[in-house]
Structure 1
């Protein structure tokens, strides 16, 4: 199985387990900058050089050795599950992708047909009932995760704990798991523990939100999207995420975690 979703700087100063929709574009660009003194020109997910990735055959052996030696700081970043699933919906389902098309080709038409989702279009200014469509999307997301139909769960809405567990299952150990909601503090701690060829001034780093500007803006506060049934589904899908990463299930509008991540607990529960 190896270490899917793992990126590492060429200097082997940092090892990062990517969790989609959790500032991964910004983190990848910071890692790239810390080696090269410049940001990657484009979406860091498209890079094929300058940053080791498990998806690149030449990087696999180097990543495996570095993880096993555990000399580089190993880390990941998490996000409030309510905000993360909303972001997935507005980016991947309601939004237009960088290539000018809908995400995964026929996925959105399939959701329109099977789940009655309406996501508008650029032609009508993305006018649609955001709350009703999101709740229908949530049923679809649950079906993919619980029963793996009508398709396998997508990485953008599958549980963070599932992504994070693969690193542990193959012998990796996290030194730090920080929160998207306190990004600068968490990333500063990672950089403070890493010996990077190029110093990084976090205050000067732009936010690399590759999905921004390609779709509708969220029109309501977070809690408006989640009625009793939606919250039941969210708990069914993301119970481990709420508990392990200390997010507030009872108040969808409280995006901040209720406490720090207990790394020993994460390794014990996700390493089983």
Structure 2
């Protein structure tokens, strides 16, 4: 995330901005600072924060004669609160490069259910009493889970208790540039990585042996029992930022087993019309949340489906205020703007920041004016990218836009209604996704949707006066039996050969449209043919990213043609 610019009284101004997100008391109580190990940790309620504190209290006290205090007693914590630091030190802690900033988050569905089971069913807890005041009920009232969800979805983040507050607001995402965001669902791996970064030594934690939470609710195993379609819809709307920012899918497999209270009792439910159950829908914008910073690591299963040129480890992604990926060193470059549209091929999440081809283009410019923005997003289709182009790019006065055909298109066009299938959780252009599995469609018929969509992009470029370059999607074609990792990635020869053919068909549509609309064509399928440039069949490795940057620098005519 972008660092907060120096100002006359930054501490007071930062505190004022944070106070618009949540009460100042929560900021002071749940922000932990170590001057010894140079880190800042913010605890999100019901997201493993007690267990995390257990580890870092122990680390802070290591080598001292002090006994380990309770992690629930803030006054005895060996870690400092913001109010204990002078302005200059607090500024360094929250914005400086010498401090590591991190937090942990949790699946919104499991977190809210855990809060209900732990804090609301306990009538002696402070969160319960706060909720009763909000609901205007007497202490002793026993709210149902649905009442709890409805009540908290009516609240603003500032009004919410920290145990159920929108995590995006509670973690102060608009104001704090995190270097690491862990998840409760991958706690062991994330905590091991985090401790290794802080201590500088390899760490493999047995976190299943340490759980400092005062109450273990096992909420994840109880989700289908408590959640209903109506409650899910409320949370998808009120907590949308949490799903988007932290990469949690709003739709889940367990949602297929919803039962109403009437059905559970064995009585057939009355049929409801769509008017009786109104659904608030919205166009899906596939983007990174503004100013978000993520650290991503390829899983062992993912690595097993690569050729060995993708190193394991953490890969940092930083988005600017408009949700475009860019190395912070280049975020404020002036001059003509280039936006590169695509899916995971363009996103390059598993290439280190600074080595992604969009970052390398910025480096190659040196002091010359010009800036390249990475508008790639994993799972995007051409329809999703058209939406990004018209809603996020045309008003930014682009000099040039490079559209790279997504490798997702051959998959999404297998659905009924092609790009516009509203049941596919990964590709649907409208949210919330409709219930039920996606209908099966005919690729040959749906492939006809691509040409008019590309022609619409060409029309936009003419109307708004920017250069549009169309690129085919590159991919590795090899003998299916030769490579074990390739067979793991493509389960059968039939699926592999069918996918290769669909990629070729759509790439030809790109070539034909570029010729018809007189747009520059960059035929990456023909240019990127060296298998050593890829770590699987569609994603370039670091060597490929650097090579691609060289190609684009020569082909795009940017920024030298600015003003021509």
When the two structures are superposed, what TM-score results if normalisation uses the length of structure 2? 0.37
Aligned to 1:162: 169
Does structure 1 conserve the Cα–Cα contact (< 8 Å) formed by 2:95 and 2:177? no
Work out the CA distance in 1 between the residues paired with 2:125 and 2:203: 35
Post-superposition shift, 1:226? 1.6
- Name 1:182's counterpart in structure 2: 186
Give 1:194-213 correspondences, 5 Å limit: 194-195=198-199, 202-203=205-206, 206-212=210-216
Unaligned segments of structure 1, at least 5 residues: 120-132
SS at match of 2:155: helix
Counterpart CA distance in 2 for 1:248 and 1:144 is 23
For residues 60 and 253 of structure 1, the distance between their equivalents in structure 2, rounded to whole angstroms, comes to: 49
Partner of 1:59: 85
Q: How many Å apart are 1:268 and its aligned residue?
A: 5.6
Report which of the two structures shows the higher radius of gyration computed on alpha carbons: 2
Aligned-pair CA distance for 1:27 = 1.3
Asked if the contact 2:47–2:104 (Cα under 8 Å) also holds between the matched residues in 1, the reply is yes
Question: What is the aligned partner in structure 1 of residue 155 from structure 2?
Answer: 144
Does 2:97 match 1:43?
A: no
Query: Structure 1 236/192 Cα, relative in aligned 2: closer, same or farther at 3 Å?
Result: same
TM-score, normalised with respect to structure 1 = 0.72
Task: Name the SS of the counterpart of 2:137 in structure 1.
Answer: helix
Partner of 2:177: 173
The residue number in structure 2 matching 1:14 is 39
Structure 1 residue 106, shift from structure 2 partner: 3.9
Partner residue of 2:125 out of 87, 97, 102: 102
- Residues 60 and 200 (structure 1), Cα distance of their counterparts in 2 relative to 1, 3 Å cut: farther
Whole-Å separation in 1 of the counterparts to 2:233 and 2:136: 23
Q: Which runs of 5+ in 2 are unaligned?
A: 1-13, 19-26, 256-294, 298-315, 324-564
Superposition RMSD in Å: 3.5
How many angstroms does 1:50 deviate by?
Answer: 1.3
Alignment length (residue pairs)? 234
Contact kept? 1:17, 1:76, Cα under 8 Å: yes
CA distance in 2, matches of 1:227, 1:64: 44
**Residue number in structure 1 paired with 2:245:** 244
- Aligned residue in 2 for 1:191: 195
Deviation at residue 176 of structure 1 after TM alignment: 1.1
In structure 1, the partner of 2:235 is 234
